[in-house]
C-alpha cells in the first residue's frame, strides 16, 4: 500500500474509508467526488477563514475597544459586520483574493490525491479538471464568507459512511433529479459514501463576525434547525 500523505489520510478519515475497506463496488469517480466533498468540509467550511486582509492587529483591537467604550457593543457589532461586508464586496477581494485561495485549495487537493493517479494521468487530470475544481472551491468559499457575516449559525451536513439514510437531511444522486427512489432503497438503507455536503442553519444572534461561521463542538448553536441543502449520498 502506498504511503498516504497527511491530507489524504485526513480526507480518507471523513470520506470513503469504510466502504473502501469493505470492498464495495464503488467507482473511482465516486471516491474522488467524496474526497472533494470531504475537502470542502474540512478545508473550507470547518476551517477558520484566513487572509491577510482580515488579520487581527493590536491597532484594530484598540479601535474596537474605543468604539465599545464610546458607543457601546451594539454599534461595534454594526461596524464589524459593515466593514467585513465592504471588504468582501471589494473588487480586489472578489477578483484576486478568492480566486487565489480557490487555486491554492485545488493544488492542495491534486497533491493529496496524487497516489490515485498513475504518472501519465497526473498532467492530463490536472489540466482537464483544474478549472472545474477551482470553480467548486470558489463556490464553497463564497458560501463560507456569506456564512461568516450572517447572524445565524450554520452546520455542514456530512453523513458518516454506514450511517442510516435520513431522508430529511440527505438525498441520493437519483432522488435529486427523479421523484422515485433508487432501486433497492429501503427506509433503513445505509450510506455507502457521502458525495456532496449539505447545509443546515440554526437561529442565532452572533455578536461579531465569526471566521469559522460553522458550529463547532465548543460553539454549538441552540436555536431551531432548518435544512437549506440536503447532503447527496450513495446508498
d(CA 42, CA 30): 18
DSSP code of 94? Answer: I
The residue among 209 and 119 whose pLDDT is bigger is: 209
The predicted pLDDT at position 41 comes to 95
Most confident region among 68-72, 82-86, 137-141 by mean pLDDT: 137-141
Q: How far, in Å, CA of 67 to CA of 79, rounded?
A: 9
* Mean pLDDT, the chain, integer: 83
This prediction has a pTM of: 0.84
Asked if residue 220 has pLDDT above 70, the reply is no
Comparison of pLDDT for 1 and 45, the residue scoring more: 45
Chain-centre distance for alpha carbon 127: 24
pLDDT digits (tens, 9 = 90+) for 141-151: 999 999 999 98
More confident residue, 11 or 13: 11
pLDDT given for residue 188 in this prediction: 76
Q: What is the largest CA-CA distance in the chain?
A: 65
Taking the C-alpha atoms of residue 214 and residue 41, their distance in angstroms, rounded to an integer, is 10
- Give the residue from 65, 102, 99 showing the smallest Cα distance to 80: 65
Amino acid at each position: 500500500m502506498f504511503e498516504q500523505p497527511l491530507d489524504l489520510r485526513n480526507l480518507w478519515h471523513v470520506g470513503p474509508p469504510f466502504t473502501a475497506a469493505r470492498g464495495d463496488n464503488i467507482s473511482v469517480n465516486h471516491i474522488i467526488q467524496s474526497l472533494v466533498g470531504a475537502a470542502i468540509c474540512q478545508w473550507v467550511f470547518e476551517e477558520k477563514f484566513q487572509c491577510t486582509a482580515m488579520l487581527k492587529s493590536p491597532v484594530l483591537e484598540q479601535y474596537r475597544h474605543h468604539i465599545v467604550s464610546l458607543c457601546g457593543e451594539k454599534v461595534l457589532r454594526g461596524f464589524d459586520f459593515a466593514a467585513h461586508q465592504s471588504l468582501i464586496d471589494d473588487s480586489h477581494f472578489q477578483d484576486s483574493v478568492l480566486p487565489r485561495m480557490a487555486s491554492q485549495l485545488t493544488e492542495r487537493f491534486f497533491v493529496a490525491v496524487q497516489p490515485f493517479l498513475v504518472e501519465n494521468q497526473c498532467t492530463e487530470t490536472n489540466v482537464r479538471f483544474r478549472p472545474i475544481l477551482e470553480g467548486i472551491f470558489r463556490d464553497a468559499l463564497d458560501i463560507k464568507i456569506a456564512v461568516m457575516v450572517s447572524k445565524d449559525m450554520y452546520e455542514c451536513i456530512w453523513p458518516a459512511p454506514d450511517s442510516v439514510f435520513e431522508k430529511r437531511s440527505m438525498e441520493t444522486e437519483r432522488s435529486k433529479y427523479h421523484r422515485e427512489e433508487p432501486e433497492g432503497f429501503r427506509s433503513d438503507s445505509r450510506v455507502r459514501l457521502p458525495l456532496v455536503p449539505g447545509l443546515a442553519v440554526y437561529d442565532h444572534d452572533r455578536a461579531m463576525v465569526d471566521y469559522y461561521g460553522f458550529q463547532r463542538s465548543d460553539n454549538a448553536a441552540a436555536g431551531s434547525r432548518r435544512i437549506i441543502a440536503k447532503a447527496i449520498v450513495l446508498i
